[in-house]
Amino acid sequence: MSRRTGLLAALALLGVTAMWGSTFFLIRDLLERVPTLDFLAVRFAIASVALLLVAPRAVARLSPASRRSAVVLGLLYGVAQILQTAGLAHTPATVSGFITGMYVVLTPVFAAVLLRSRITAMTWGAVVLATSGLAVLTLNGLSIGYGEAITLVAAMLYALHIVGLGAWSTPHEALGMSIVQIVVITLVCLAATAPDGIVLPDTPGDWLSVVYMALFAGALGLVGQTWAQAHLAPTRSAIIMSMEPVFAAFFAVLLGGESFTLRMVCGGLMVLAAMLVVELAPRRKVEAEVQHLTV
């Protein structure tokens, strides 16, 4: 891989991260009127239709192994989306963004566990620091709130998705794998919400938000991530995506009317510091082995 390709992949992933960060306050506002599962089903259904119309033959060109990998990745991402979005209904956008960003710390940990590799002391230090930051952000007494807890589980699933995507995606199959993933996500959400009927947005503003999140943060975002991770190691990808909580906080304050508290600033800085510590940890062996991970 050339340095230019690596730079383009990093910039593409950074752009995708900015789009993801811009959705936190939009989702929180929308969920006041549309149930979580209904929103996700509509969002990813629109994304699926759009990608199938743009590239109807991309899925047919996938190998059987790539299709199976994409299905697994879609299941991981779909469940993570449900948990993250449900958590956002009970958690401020800034806090949700920071907790979700913990996948940056969890990615090298899961990579090491899956590959039975030794976890460095520096990585363990980052985990402790991130956990402490999460405690500052979310703990009420000795308990963690419901919204924060399920958002943390979503972060774990996102970390597994990043590890798998880095191991299984290839540049020429990025579009096809993205389509399979989004279709699987749609089916997961529809299966969960269809028995009770689907509530649709009922205002032009809500529809505009859903379409933006479907086409840009959804379809384009997943295609961009899949292509970029075909060129970038999983932990490097996760470090780039650590900008998501920063973008989430920026958009929430700028457009969502939220304000920072001292506790939020301190906890957020601790989580961000943990993400940066992971980048300094020696992990060449882990990254090399992750590339050979198979289903």
> 3-state SS string over the chain?
CCHHHHHHHHHHHHHHHHHHHCCHHHHHHHCCCCCHHHHHHHHHHHHHHHHHHHCCCCCCCCCHHHHHHHHHHHHHHHHHHHHHHHHHCCCCHHHHHHHHCCHHHHHHHHHHHHCCCCCCHHHHHHHHHHHHHHHHHHEECCEECHHHHHHHHHHHHHHHHHHHHHHHCCHHHHHHHHHHHHHHHHHHHHHHHHHHCCCCCCCHHHHHHHHHHHHHHHHHHHHHHHHHHCCCCHHHHHHHCCHHHHHHHHHHHHCCCCCCCHHHHHHHHHHHHHHHHHHHCCCHHHHHHHCCCCC
pLDDT number for residue 123: 72
Is residue 20 over pLDDT 80? yes
Is residue 89 over pLDDT 90? no
pLDDT-above-70 percentage for the chain: 88
Mean pLDDT of the residues in the chain: 84
Is residue 195 over pLDDT 80? yes
pLDDT-wise least confident of 14-28, 110-124, 195-209: 110-124
* Residues 236-295: tens digit of each pLDDT: 788 778 878 778 878 888 887 777 777 778 887 887 787 777 656 544 443 443 444 433
